[in-house]
Every structure is written in structure tokens, then in C-alpha cells.
Amino acid sequence: EVQLVESGGGLVQPGGSLRLSCAASGFTFSSYEMNWVRQAPGKGLEWISYISSSGSPIYYADSVKGRFTISRDNANNSLFLQMDSLTVDDTAVYYCAGRPGAGYGLDVWGQGTTVTVSS
Amino acid sequence: ENVMTQSPATLSVSPGERATLSCRASQSVITNLAWYQQKPGQAPRLLIYGASTRATGIPARFSGSGSGTEFTLTISSLQSEDSAVYYCQQYNNWPPFTFGGGTRVEIK
């Protein structure tokens, strides 16, 4: 079964940090381009970061650039998002999502992990 | 940034009727456009990519069309389980990948 499972979400104070993880199974993770997409409460989808199948290049949305760091470990089928200097505007459900390559949509999604930034 | 605009915001359709959802891009995306379905409390699910190719396991009642800046998702005969929010996303002019604001489909 094709699966992505996120973990690491929780409650954090403004200015704090969290590290999200995404464990992949059931498909060739090392061939997939991976992304993090978030959804604030009651809002739409916002793409925030991309990493190629090999680990480079990497891209970020302006809203998180300089604060968030995406990485992957193909040997262990895992994707990560290090989130620093968190603000209340980062409160959202965070999804990892992947696609097999250019020309494709995001065909694999995790169930999401909730990040709440509040004092 | 390529801004994606979806209309209408909410669509109310009777079971068995056709639902037509629109997505407009501020710059041409050729056919590098995807549609997703999201039900409450669930992750999005890919329906269509390449503007018109159904993803694996997607029923034939879902179809996509368009190119350039104007796109349509059609649900030919609405079923009760199709009640959801639908998002379009472009992946031609990136980063960033950009999503539309979504269309909520309600069953009348």
C-alpha cells in the first residue's frame, strides 16, 4: 500500500521550533519529488517547499524562506521539515505530498500533522 | 507568481446532474494543471493531471479540459460522495506551485 505518514506536529510557542517527519512506504521514494503543503484552519492549500528526488534543487515559498528547511533521507524513505522562528501564521495542518516527476500532479499525500503556534 | 482563480466559490447541484467547475490562471500554464478533491478531515486526493488525464482509480464521471489559462473540471453525474472542496493547481511556472482558492460542491 502506497503510504506517507507524517509526525512531529504539536503545540509550540511563537519563536519556537519543530521538526516534522514523513515516512514513505509502498512506492519508490527515491524516485519521487517531494513537497510540503499546508492548510491553515478553514483555509485553502498552500505549497511551502519542494525537494527533488536527489535532494537538489530545493525551493521554498516566500512565506517560509529563511525559517524552514526541507531535507530527505532516501536510504530510510523519509522526508523532513525543520521549522524555526515559528509565528502564529504558521498554524496549520502540514501535509507531505509527492509526485513521480515533471508533468504529474501530487499523487501521494500523507494524512497531515497539525502544528499550532500559540502562547 | 501565477495566480489561480477558481469559480464559483460554492456550487450546489442535484444528484445525477452535471457540475462544472472553472479555474483560471493569470499566466499560461499550457496543460500543466492538476485538480484535487478534499473531503472534510481528509488529505487532498489527485483527480486530474496534465489538465485532462485522470489519476489512477478516479471514476470516469470526472473529466478535465482546457489549456493555457482556462480550465474546467466536470463531474458528469454528481454522486453524494462527490460533496467536497475541489482545488486546481498549476505546476508550469514554479516555484511556487500555486493552488486556486477552491470550489465547494454541495449536494442539493
| A94 touches A117 (CB < 8 A) | no
A12/chain B closest Cα distance in angstroms:
22
**pLDDT number for residue B73:** 98
Average model confidence (pLDDT) for chain B?
97
Q: Does B34 touch chain A if contact means CB atoms closer than 8 Å?
A: yes
Question: How far apart are alpha carbons A57 and A69 in whole angstroms?
Answer: 13
Give chain A positions within 8 Å (CB) of B48.
105
Amino acid at B105: V
B33/chain A closest Cα distance in angstroms: 8
Could you tell me how many CB contacts below 8 A there are between chain A and chain B? 67
How high is the mean pLDDT in each 10-residue block of chain A (119 residues)? 97 98 97 98 98 97 98 98 98 98 96 97
Q: Residue A26 has which C-alpha cell?
A: 509502498
What type of residue sits at position A94? Y
Q: Judge: A105–B89 Cβ closer than 8 Å, yes or no.
A: yes
What's the confidence (pLDDT) of residue A51? 98
Q: pLDDT tens digits, residue range A90-108?
A: 999 999 999 999 999 999 9
Give pLDDT, residue B35. Answer: 98
pLDDT at residue number A104: 95
pLDDT at B52: 98
pLDDT for the residue numbered A52: 97
Closest Cα in chain A, distance from residue B59 (Å): 15
Do B89 and B47 touch, CB atoms closer than 8 A? no
Look at the block and give the residue holding cell 500533522. Answer: A113
Q: What is the pLDDT of residues B16-30, one digit of tens each?
A: 999 999 999 999 999
For residue A66, the model assigns a pLDDT of 98
Q: Where on the phi/psi map is residue A55: left (φ > 0), alpha (ψ -120 to 50), or beta?
A: left
Q: What is the pLDDT of residue B71?
A: 98
According to the model, what pLDDT value does residue B37 have? Answer: 98
Please tell me if residue A5 touches chain B, with a CB cutoff of 8 Å.
no
pLDDT in tens, chain B (108 residues): 999 999 999 999 999 999 999 999 999 999 999 999 999 999 999 999 999 999 999 999 999 999 999 999 999 999 999 999 999 999 999 999 999 999 999 999
